[in-house]
Structure 1
Amino acid sequence: MRIHKFETTEAFIAIDLEGAEASSGPARWAKKILQGGAKDLARSQTYTYAALGMKRGGAAAGISAAPEDRATAIDAFLTEVEPLVANGTYLPDAAKGIGLDELAPLHAGDPRDTARLGDFANRCDGLSAVVAAHHAVGLDAKTVAIEGFENLGPWVADGVIGHGARLTAISTATGTVTNESGFSLAELNEAFAAHGADCVNELGEVGHPMAVFGAGADVVFAGSKVGIIDHKVAERLEGCAAVVPNGRLPLTARSLAVLRKAGVQTPADFVALAGSTLAVWGDVSRSDDEIVAGVREDIGDLCAELQGHDDGLLLAACYFAEAFLMEWQDELPWGRPLAP
């Protein structure tokens, strides 16, 4: 892992691998972005590429600036990062504090299918998360909770309900709402489209955002922030069948140990959220339907490959990714993709 520091603004890129054909990952803005979090996100994307058999690497950028200086800082970032995009050193994805439209000036030099970034990429990540969940435990007749509904929630809801599950709890930054009978997809989509995170106020009695982990669902999707499930939260989930990522790095090493001991299935984030990577690397002439079918098939095949390992799904995925990395890297990068 190396850190590329910018000269014209307070920004950096954490670049995980040397010798990669290209490196990509989130670009974030805040008053202060720390390198540690960027390194963790870059590592997760590296493992996604490796799990998919791509000789590419993860990277993550951070732009630190006060709100009143944000526009100037992002403009400087765009100017300085342009040659790095052109040579594949870093291909940025919109993330916290940076919109897809703000990165549009870089898309001409980006070798990916940039027309599929944004909503369609999110759709594909939602699909791959649902595929991972279904392969892990089967979704038919299961109850499901979605933590951080803003994070792929509508796409995950569509997928789990389509598999015959009952969506009984969701949470946003505003709070948690439950429905033992199960929310309908139409009411969720209507409320979320109109109210965003405040959609929960339209759906029932609202509790604390973390209350979603006590809703008693069979399958819990989580990932509103890195490390959202620590060992104490994991202890509340010991009766679940599976905890599935809908955002990068939701588990810590300690929470993974708690869940493994309890027999809870834990698909890796870098597999469950690989759909967008498949969507943006490929022939730009592909139709949306062709891409969606390819994501469903490829992630399904990968999940089938990982089933039944004694060490569980997440570590099985790590071993699988690392075997590919050793085919073209002199040594493995230090540290697996888990929250600190």
Structure 2
Amino acid sequence: MNALAATSRNFKQAAKLLGLDSKLEKSLLIPFREIKVECTIPKDDGTLASYVGFRVQHDNARGPMKGGIRYHHEVDPDEVNALAQLMTWKTAVANIPYGGAKGGIGCSPGELSISELERLTRVFTQKIHDLIGIHTDVPAPDMGTNSQTMAWILDEYSKFHGYSPAVVTGKPVDLGGSLGRDAATGRGVLFATEALLAEHGKGIAGQRFVIQGFGNVGSWAAQLISEAGGKIVAISDVTGAVKNINGLDIAQLVKHSAENKGIKGFSGGDAIDPNSLLTEDCDVLLPAALGGVINKDNANDIKAKYIIEAANHPTDPEADEILSKKGVLILPDILANSGGVTVSYFEWVQNIQGFMWDEEKVNAELRTYMTRAFGDVKAMCRSHNCDLRMGAFTLGVNRVARATVLRGWEA
């Protein structure tokens, strides 16, 4: 089942639990706007290359649409639609005044030079600048993009509309980015994990963790969990996987990864098959890479008691059912990885106010938002007698539906 079908299925289950009017349900599912543009740039060797860019603006009932822009060769309309829809429910679960959007360009960023990436970003911005904006649609980094990408978008957008730092989040601090933004998604994962474990009388300390993915989210989650006393027994990235049942030295692994462009060859553990990582023995599994990695083929072999979805849509619905029957508790992506968009909201607020917060305030506010969101999800679970995923979806969908009706939607 692809990401769009799975996301729509979860939405429809939530709508059924909520008893939504069928016309309202259909209205909430259909995107507000879908954008597809051609981006042609001169390569460094003088040849021309064309790429297709997408921006799906899903819903704006609760505020400006919000979502990342990813550069990846597998970017396609279905994936962007699914992720835009997930952003609508995610911002509502976090209870921040945004809607949902997502964007991307079908390219392989690792095969492009810095100057080619800049030209591609600026052309894409030229094509969509009149459809994004501080109070319309606020992009952010995602897979294959970073703070530098956001700086280029900000600069290009400002050529048309005047200096507008709030038009994107995840910017460099020197251009109005927020302190604490780089670690925000990983830190949010820590806070969400703490909240879930506390429900069962446990803490981070003493728990054994396995993390798939060692990019921004996975590496920060690993560092923060390790600092909190968690034992990380296995980690993988695109270069390989490493295991140490006594716990990996995360500080050394971060250093090794930076120096060697990946964790392959790390001497502080044994190399293992990355394909076996998800089924390693552990208490808590954190998929923090691509979507669809937990499926019906491997779900029966997963040994973790808890799964924290640090990635977007890592678990297929078929796997959800298998894991539920096994008693595995899954903290869904629209709650677990909402720390990034929450601190993006803080960044946007700071830009609009023209007043910068210190990092201690950012992190304290993030803990408050993540803990409150977990409590709100648990309340929906009790109200609708459902699992955490449906608790999160019913919470998000209900908030968006209420805003839609209050703004004057008519059946």
TM-score range normalised by the length of the shorter chain: 0.7 to 0.9
Matched with 2:388 is 313
| Amino acid aligned to 1:79 | Q
Q: Deviations over 1:255-310 (max 9, x none)?
A: 11111111111112111111122212234221111111111122112213333644
Matched with 2:190 is 130
Give the counterpart of 1:192 among 257, 261, 273: 257
1:28 and 2:70 aligned: yes
Give the counterpart of 1:263 among 327, 332, 343: 327
Distance 1:118 1:218 in 2: 33
Give the counterpart of 1:288 among 341, 353, 359: 359
Give the counterpart of 1:80 among 127, 139, 143: 127
Length-normalised TM-score, structure 2: 0.73
Q: How far off is 1:52 after superposition? A: 2.0
Residues 1-340 of structure 1 aligned to structure 2 (within 5 Å): 1=31, 2-6=33-37, 10-31=52-73, 33-64=75-106, 72-86=119-133, 88-107=135-154, 108-111=163-166, 114=171, 115=173, 120-137=180-197, 138=202, 139-237=204-302, 239-282=303-346, 283-284=349-350, 285-307=356-378, 309=382, 310-330=385-405
Q: Deviations over 1:60-119 (max 9, x none)?
A: 123235867866543321212223333543322223343431331333435266437599
| Amino acid aligned to 1:268 | P
Of residues 55-64 and 93-102 in structure 1, the stretch that sits farther from structure 2 once superposed is 93-102
Aligned length: 330
Cα pair 1:41 1:248 within 8 Å, conserved: yes
Structure 1 residues 89, 201: closer, same or farther in 2, change over 3 A?
same
Distance 2:136 2:274 in 1: 38
Structure 1 residues 272, 119: closer, same or farther in 2, change over 3 A?
farther
SS of match in other structure, 2:181 = helix
Structure 1 residues 100, 31: closer, same or farther in 2, change over 3 A?
same
Q: How far off is 1:42 after superposition? A: 1.0
| Amino acid aligned to 1:24 | K
Cα pair 1:171 1:200 within 8 Å, conserved: no
SS of match in other structure, 1:326 = helix
Matched with 1:337 is none
Q: How far off is 1:49 after superposition? A: 0.9
Structure ID, larger Rg: 2
Distance 2:147 2:84 in 1: 19
Q: Deviations over 1:181-218 (max 9, x none)?
A: 11123322322232232355333331221221122011
Distance 2:34 2:191 in 1: 34
Structure 1 residues 156, 65: closer, same or farther in 2, change over 3 A?
closer
Cα pair 2:217 2:288 within 8 Å, conserved: no
Q: How far off is 1:19 after superposition? A: 4.2
Structure 1 residues 44, 145: closer, same or farther in 2, change over 3 A?
same
Distance 2:336 2:366 in 1: 11
Distance 2:319 2:295 in 1: 5
Q: How far off is 1:134 after superposition? A: 2.0
Distance 1:172 1:4 in 2: 32
Of residues 172-181 and 98-107 in structure 1, the stretch that sits farther from structure 2 once superposed is 98-107
Q: How far off is 1:150 after superposition? A: 2.0
Structure 1 residues 225, 8: closer, same or farther in 2, change over 3 A?
closer
**Superposition CA RMSD, Å:** 2.6
Cα pair 2:211 2:234 within 8 Å, conserved: yes
Cα pair 2:96 2:345 within 8 Å, conserved: no
Structure 1 residues 176, 325: closer, same or farther in 2, change over 3 A?
same
Name structure 2 gaps, 5 residues minimum. Answer: 1-30, 41-51, 155-162, 351-355, 407-411
Structure 1 residues 65, 176: closer, same or farther in 2, change over 3 A?
closer
Cα pair 2:67 2:84 within 8 Å, conserved: yes
Distance 1:64 1:12 in 2: 8
Distance 2:405 2:102 in 1: 22
